[in-house]
Amino acid sequence: MNRSPHVAVVGATGAVGIEMIKTLEKRNFPVGKLTLLASARSVGKKLKFRGHDITVRELTKKSFTGIDIALFSAGGNISREFAPIAAKNGCIVIDNSSAFRMDDNVPLVIPEINAADVKRHEGIIANPNCTTAVTLMALYPLHQAFKVKRIFASSYQAVSGTGAKAIEELERQVEQVVKKQPVTKHVYPHQIAFNVLPHVDSFLPSGYTREEMKMENEGRKIMHLPAFRASVTCVRVPVYRAHSVAVSAEFEKPVTVAAAREALNKAPGLDVIDDPTKNEYPQPLHAAEKYNCAIGRIRLDCALDNGLAFWVSGDQLLKGAALNAVQIAEELLS
């Protein structure tokens, strides 16, 4: 791998694409050259990188000649079409969509958990689902200490997980409600302002949504734990940025809060914010734009044997997407 690689960001003008560009700069990733790719309608837009304007170019089948690493965040259909073309051109793709996550030949990586899996790539590496990433940052250190069997969880997912149009929708609806105007909706099937929707992604015949099943399926692959089980309800909440998850986890070994804290305090990429006497616990408002996820409300679960309940918040545009992708790129260079 070239020590100052030529990097492309596919979907550069989207919410995650913009975070990828910022993260490459903030982490001093040794970009030799940066190419920004997007659909025809974004061509000609200029985005800043290291103080210079870079013009967005159209994504085509010929875009990947000479590119070493491509960070994809343009949706599953674009990834399915263009990632294999990029890989054939000798480019390593780090894909943020769900297109390849469960493919046996594609590593699914959270660097703090399974960085070694990067080495097995055949040209494509997958980034996990944002809610899975935030949850596993807290769950995995506990798994290492106590061996997790299953979890029950509810997510509290920010609208930015849906994209820029959803942020606009929440802003517009809040204003409409405050001004007592009729509420208009385009992105979600129901009003999201001052409401919560137990509906993220599309429904499956089982009654779970695709998003809810990602936690179990991706969790098994990332933690190398085929027997892991997760019953999840994913909820969209009127928060702009950062997801939170309430988790009840059951372990094989006996758990104590003190031992849990010890494991969590040592965990990379995780802050313990947990002092109920001072009303201190993770909040999405404070997790936004931070690299680390935060865990709190740590307590023995009163309904499970060897159970621990906790609350975790994390920026889904960063650890759930852009930051994790750049960390994978860092692993490729190390």
Q: 320 φ, ψ to 5°?
A: -80, -5
Taking a C-beta distance cutoff of 8 angstroms, is the pair 42, 67 a contact? no
Name the residue among 162, 67, 86 with its Cα closest to residue 125: 86
Q: Is 130 a catalytic residue?
A: yes
Per annotation, catalytic residue among 6, 91, 121, 130: 130
Read off the tokens for 162.
Answer: 């849906």
For 83, other C-beta atoms within 10 Å of its C-beta total 25
In the DSSP assignment, the letter for residue 209 is: B
Q: Is 199 a catalytic residue?
A: no
Per annotation, catalytic residue among 6, 234, 243, 293: 243
Name the residue among 132, 92, 87 with its Cα closest to residue 114: 132
Write out the H or E segment, with its range, that includes residue 212: helix 210-223
Q: What is the 3-state secondary structure (H, E, C) of 310-328?
A: EEEEECCCHHHHHHHHHHH
Name the residue among 64, 102, 101, 66 with its Cα closest to residue 83: 64
* DSSP-derived 3-state class of residue 275: strand
- Characterize 124-144 residue by residue with b for buried, 16 or more Cβ atoms within 10 angstroms of its Cβ, and e for exposed: bbbbbbbbbbbbbbbbbbbbe
Chain-centre distance for alpha carbon 105: 21
Taking a C-beta distance cutoff of 8 angstroms, is the pair 293, 250 a contact? no
Taking a C-beta distance cutoff of 8 angstroms, is the pair 137, 312 a contact? yes
Catalytic positions: 130, 243
